[in-house]
Every structure is written in structure tokens, then in C-alpha cells.
Chain A
Amino acid sequence: MSDETRRLLECHDVVSGYLPGVDIVRGSDLTLADGELVGIIGPNGAGKSTLLKTIFGLVELRSGSIELRGEEISNLRAHELVQKGVGFVPQTENVFPSLTVEENLQMGCYLQPGLFRERANFVADLFPRLSERKNQRVGAMSGGERQMVAMGRALMMDPSVLLLDEPSAGLSPANQDEVFDRIGKIKETGVSIIMVEQNARRCLQISDRGYVLDQGQNAYTGTGRQLLHDPKVIELYLGTLAAR
């Protein structure tokens, strides 16, 4: 496979932000290859989540480009991206709490209800616990289970790219382990993943490649293993976080 075809998503010199005149992401580059799991880590306020939301069209792109398989996607609306095979799991408010698990999944493939049966089986294989509780209201479920629902919902349209915004945030250690384990499984099914994480060490352990974002720019890039053992990265970004 040539390098060109392997490139699934490519962000170039992305500048974006919420308030007029205040850029959060300030010239960041990112590449996601087919089948790859890429982790983005960095200190609080580095612009990790903003970069992810920019890719999904939720934050205005001020300059730079975002391409999916060579096609510019920065002017597309969120649901158009969903149809193009991009799934997004927000950090908070990522489920419909008063809907049941099954209904949440139905909303996931709202545009193509025909996919439901097949995809629901796929999701059930990944998260067996969800199929046991498919008629339960998600609002009454634990944080770990909600995260499963959120990921399951995003997988319903059979995405080729999955964007995960801090999937382990707010979860108990046991639930975090489970979430990271499932993310690895999702990757094994061939879905390419970009994951933003606070838990930098765990993130890099399962990532093929990692980006360290600082003040809206790429500070370090490398394979997960390289970054985990880079003294600079350890000192600046992993040292305190690793003390958990």
C-alpha cells in the first residue's frame, strides 16, 4: 500500500477558536492513516478538544485545511460528516439520557435506519453488556456504561474514522481500563481512531502514534512508544500525570 492511499484524514496548519480574535488551536498538523489509532495528549488548555471539535465542524476553522481521503471537509456540517463516515463522541452530554440504549443506537443511524440490525449486532459484540440492558434508560446507567452507549451510538453509521474526546474522563479506574480495552477492540475491527486524552500514559500505551499539543501547536510527534520513553515528554507532560 502506498503512503498516499493510507492517508485517511489530514489536517494542515489548523487555526481555530471560539471567541473572535482568540485562537485556541494555532497552526496544528495531524495525519491519520487507515487503521491507525492516534492519541493527542497535552496539558490543560492546549487545544486538544478544540482541535477534535474543529475536525468535526463544531468549531469554526479560521485557516488551514482538513481533508478526508483528499477531499476538503472543513465546510461540512456535523451530520454530513456522519454520512461521510466520521463518528464523534463528545466528552460530556454524549448520550440521550431519557432514551433507552436501543433508542440511542437508533438515533446513531437516524439517517440510514436500514443499517440498524447489522450495526446493532456489531455494537453488541463489542459491548455485550449493552445488549443485556437494551431497554434500559441511559440516564439511569453508570458513567462507564454511558461511555459504551456513546461509543456504540457513534459506531452505528459504520464510520471509518472515530473521534473520541477524553473517553476516560470522570470514570473510575476499573471503568477506565474497560474503556481503553474496548477502544483497542474497536481499532481491531478496522476503524481508525483519533483520541484526545488527559490520561496521557494510558493513551500512549495503546496508540500507534501520538501528538503532544501545547498552546495550540504540535510540540512533539512520534510513535506511542517513542513518546512514552522520550525524556523531554516524560519530564514535561507525563511526569506529574504518571504519578497516579
Chain B
Amino acid sequence: MTGRAGSRLLAGQHDPVDDPGRAAGHRRFSVPRLVAIALVVVAVALISDQAMGATGLLGDNTLVAQAGRSFGARFLNTVVDGLVVGLIIALTSVGLSLIFGVTGLVNFAHGELVTFGAVVAWFLNAGTWGFQVALPVATVLAVVAGSVFGAGLEKGIFGPLRRRKVPNISLIVTTIGLSLVVRHVILIWFGSGTQKYRDYATQVAKDYGPISITDVKLAIIIVSLLVLALVGLLLMKTKLGKAMRAVRDNRDLAEASGIDVRKVILATWMGGAALAALGGVFQGIGFAGVSWDLGFKLLLLMFAGVILGGLGTAFGAMVGGILIGVVTQVSSLWLSTEFKLVIAFAALIIVLLVRPQGILGKKERVG
């Protein structure tokens, strides 16, 4: 009982008690700032392009494929492609961000939750287990499996560790260990190759005005947007969503108000893991196919998105994730695709140095 008084979610999370001037500053985020940052990132891309010479124009499938099109059309198509990438990052990183917000844990094993979803859906779809289900059904089942997996991690590992008051650094190292374990279990289970889903293996792009897009990617965009909107709605309007935000804001006060913090944390893990699994399936369908390290490869992009938007909030993760996807993809119009990740990671570092609360984050939440 004594520990509750002393436990604090974030180091230095004190709110300024009476500082209206600073409080007013919270409201100054918003669209102009967002656009400004996007512009800066693009500008950096342009400048480094000149510095590196014109290396970017070769070896890029997108550009080769679109060689005949006008720049405007290429730009539009790249943005749409970036939107798909960004939505997938957004889906996967909402959980990463919320789990951090609610428990203070930076989960380096979050990528494995993504892989898990993709792999489960692949097995179900491929019929390895004796029955074959269509990919949409497999996706739903994988999402359910993902949330069970997330619950297992909280119940079996992180909940008990938190109650043992294991220090934060040790928890992070634990997630590293967990990531190694899960990733290599999947490697043994799934194999080291890259597999395509049985359904939707070949796709033809259709033209919608200047934009050409495959049905599957269009579906990914629509479903992702719907799911993200639903998540936002749940967080803003439902009792559980409000409780999640309350626990994130002030765990002791939430507990004193009668909120069952353990249940809220469990729900966050389940929801976050479910979204990660969904993002994993989409990544497998929309891009590289399924592989044992699919999620691990996305991990730093998720961190980039989450940090860009502000660690701890779902909306930050959504906006940051989409931004990272679009900006990196658009950068490939000028730069070699080799630099996509470099740009994303550089954005991550610059944002952390300049505005650690993220472009949408509120000052009071700075760690």
C-alpha cells in the first residue's frame, strides 16, 4: 500500500501549478507547425540530394515504373504509396505509444507483435494447419490471436515485473531479451524465407484519374482509416478510453478514483497488440510479403512515428506514423531509396533533440 504514494509514471512529470503563460502555450501546436516540420524534412532531403549528387535517380523501381508520367502524377502516386506505408506504421505504433503512456514501458519487442500477426494470418491462409481460410477471415483471427498474445505478455511478464518494482532500465533490457526470443521462435516456426499470402498474391493497379493503385492497397487504406478512427472514438468517448487516458495522465489519482488500473493496462496491451497484428498482416499484403523479421524491420520506423507525434498518445502515433510514411516515400522522388530509412531516423533524432514532446505533444508530458 505504501508504494502507491511514491510511484510516479514519468520522471519529472510535474505540472506547472500556476503558470497560465505556459499553459497557453499548449494550444499553439496544430496544422501550421505540422506543415512547417514536413517542409523542413523535405528541404533537408533536397539539400542532401544536392550534396550527394544525382545518385537518386537510378535504381528506384517506383521511378522507373513511372518514367512516362508527369512529375505531378508521380508525386501524387508516391504520396498515396506513402499513405499506405504511413497508415501501417500508424496502426502498429498506436499500441507502442499507448503502452508507453499507460505503463511507462518502452517496448523494444513491439515489432514481434507485428510479425506475430502477419505470420498467424499466413499460416491460416496457407492452410498449413489443415484448414484454409480466406485472408480477410485469417486477418480477423490473427488480430484476435495478437490480442491474446499481448494479454499473455502483460499477465505473464510485464505485470509481475511491474509489481516487483523492477527498475525501468531492467524492463527495457527485458523487452530486448523478449524480442530475441519471440523473433527466433518465429524464425524456427515460420522459416527464414519470405512468403506471399496465398490470396491477393498478384495484383494489378487500376487507374483513378492520375492515381493508379491496386485494389488491395486501396482496401488497406480504407480499413486502416476506419480502424484508426474507431480507435480514436473509443479513446475519446468510451469509459475505458477515458480511463486509459486518465491512467496515462496520473496513475495514482486514477487508482484513487477507483479505476482498476491493472484492467486498464491489460486492455491497453490487448488493444495495442491487436492493432500491431493487423498492421503486420497489412505490411505482409501490401509490401514485402511475410518474413520472420518483418516487424523488427519496422520497429525503428514505429519509434520514429511515435516520437514525431509525441510518445504516449494514440493520436500522436497516428499522425507521426502517417507523416513518416509519406515523407520517406516522397523523399524517394529525389533521393535514392537507400536513404528512406536514414531520413526517417534522422527525423526521429532531430525531433527528439528539438521538440522531445513531439509535434503534437503537450509540454507537460515531456519525459
Contact = CB atoms under 8 A, between A and B. Distances in A.
Do A's and B's CB atoms come within 8 Å in the complex? Answer: yes
Interface of A: 18, 53, 56-60, 77-79, 82-83, 88, 90, 92-99, 103, 106-108, 110-111, 113, 137, 139-144, 146, 153, 169-172, 175
Given A58-B252, A140-B26, 5 more contacts: A18-B6, A92-B15, A96-B246, A110-B257, A139-B23
Which among B6, B250, B259 has the greatest number of chain A C-beta atoms within 10 A?
Answer: B250
A195 B99 CA distance: 36
Contact of B4 (A58, A108, A110, A153): A58
B18 A93 contact: no
A140 B246 contact: no
A82 B242 contact: no
A99 B245 contact: yes
Interface of A is mostly: loop
A92 B258 CA distance: 19
B256 A97 contact: no
Contact of B17 (A96, A140, A170): A170
Interface string B329-367: 000000000000000000000000000000000101100
Contact of B18 (A103, A113, A144): A144
Contact of A96 (B4, B14, B249, B362): B249
Contacts of B248: 98
Contact of A106 (B1, B20, B242, B365): B242
B245 A141 contact: no
A82 B257 contact: yes
Given A53-B5, A96-B249, A98-B249, A142 B256 contact: no
A139 B254 contact: no
Interface residues of B, number: 37
Nearest to B365: A98
B18 A170 contact: yes
14 contacts: A60-B2, A77-B1, A79-B255, A79-B258, A82-B258, A93-B250, A96-B250, A98-B313, A98-B362, A98-B365, A137-B26, A142-B19, A169-B17, A170-B17
Contacts of A94: 253
B35 interface: no
Interface string B186-221: 000000000000000000000000000000000000
Nearest to A88: B256
B258 A111 contact: yes
A78 B256 contact: yes
Contact of A58 (B5, B27, B259): B5
B48 interface: no
Interface of B: 1-2, 4-6, 13-20, 23-24, 26-27, 239, 242-243, 245-246, 248-250, 252-259, 313, 362, 364-365
B362 A93 contact: no
B207 to A, nearest CB: 44
A58 B362 CA distance: 29
Contacts, number: 117
B13 A93 contact: yes
A139 B364 contact: yes
A90 B6 CA distance: 13
Which among B2, B4, B20, B248 has the greatest number of chain A C-beta atoms within 10 A?
Answer: B2
Nearest to B19: A143
A60 B4 CA distance: 10
A99 B246 contact: yes
A78 B4 contact: yes
Given A83-B258, A98-B245, A93 B253 contact: yes
Contacts of A56: 256
A211 B253 CA distance: 27
Given A57-B1, A97-B15, A98-B245, A141 B253 contact: no
Contact of B23 (A103, A106, A140, A153): A140
Contacts of A78: 4, 255-256
A69 B15 CA distance: 36
A83 B258 CA distance: 8
A98 to B, nearest CB: 5
Given A59-B5, A78-B4, A98-B245, A92 B362 contact: no
Contacts of A108: 257
Contacts of A153: 257
B15 A139 contact: yes
A101 B92 CA distance: 31
B196 to A, nearest CB: 42
Contacts of B365: 98
